[in-house]
Amino acid sequence: MNEINWKKLLTHGYLYLLLVVIYAPILIIIIYSFTESKVLGNWTGFSLGLYENLFSGTADGANALYNALENTLIIALSAAIISTMMGTVAAIGIHNMRGIQKRTVSFLNNVPMINPDIITGISIFLLFVFLGISRGMFTVICSHIAFCTPYVILSVMPRLTKMNPNIYEAALDLGATPVQAFKKILMPELWPGMVSGFILSLTLSIDDFAVTFFTKGSDGLETLSTYIYSDARKGGLTPELRPLSALIFIAILLLLIIVNIRASKQKKEMRRKKIRH
Cα–Cα nearest to 205, from 73, 31, 8: 73
Give CA–CA dist 68/74, Å, rounded: 10
Q: Residue 198 CA to chain centroid, in angstroms?
A: 7
The shares of helix, strand and coil residues in the chain, as percent rounded to the nearest 5, are: 80, 0, 20
Contacts of 243 (CB under 8 A, 6+ apart): 33, 50, 51, 54
pLDDT at residue number 64: 82
E strand map for the chain = none
Give CA–CA dist 35/44, Å, rounded: 6
DSSP label at 133?
A: P
pLDDT at residue number 212: 92
pLDDT at residue number 116: 86
For 181-216, how does the pLDDT look when each residue is reduced to its tens digit (9 = 90+)?
888 888 888 888 898 899 889 989 988 899 999 999
For 71-106, how does the pLDDT look when each residue is reduced to its tens digit (9 = 90+)?
999 999 999 999 999 999 999 889 888 888 888 988
The amino acid present at 77, given as its one-letter code, is: L
For the residues of 224-268, what is the DSSP string, one character each?
HHHHHHHHHHTTS--TTHHHHHHHHHHHHHHHHHHHHHHHHHHHH
Residue 169 has pLDDT above 60, yes or no: yes
Long-range contacts of range 122-127, CB-CB < 8 Å, 24 or more positions apart?
122/214, 124/211, 124/214, 124/215, 125/214, 125/215
Give CA–CA dist 267/275, Å, rounded: 12
Exposure of 155 by Cβ count < 10 A (0-12 exposed, 13-18 middle, 19+ buried)? buried
The size of the chain, in residues, is 277
pLDDT at residue number 144: 94
Please report, to the nearest 10 degrees, the dihedral formed by the alpha carbons of residues 172, 159, 162, 169 taken in order. Answer: 10
For 47-77, how does the pLDDT look when each residue is reduced to its tens digit (9 = 90+)?
888 888 888 877 666 788 888 889 999 999 9
For 128-139, how does the pLDDT look when each residue is reduced to its tens digit (9 = 90+)?
999 988 888 999
Give 2 or 20, the one with higher predicted confidence: 20
Contacts of 143 (CB under 8 A, 6+ apart): 121, 124, 211, 212, 215
For 232-270, how does the pLDDT look when each residue is reduced to its tens digit (9 = 90+)?
887 777 888 888 888 888 888 888 888 778 777 777 776
pLDDT at residue number 45: 83
Give 2 or 217, the one with higher predicted confidence: 217
Q: Residue 240 CA to chain centroid, in angstroms?
A: 23
pLDDT at residue number 85: 93
Give CA–CA dist 152/90, Å, rounded: 9
Query: What angle is formed at CA 91 by the lines to CA 87 and CA 94, rounded to 5 degrees?
Result: 135
pLDDT at residue number 273: 65
pLDDT at residue number 73: 92
pLDDT at residue number 262: 77
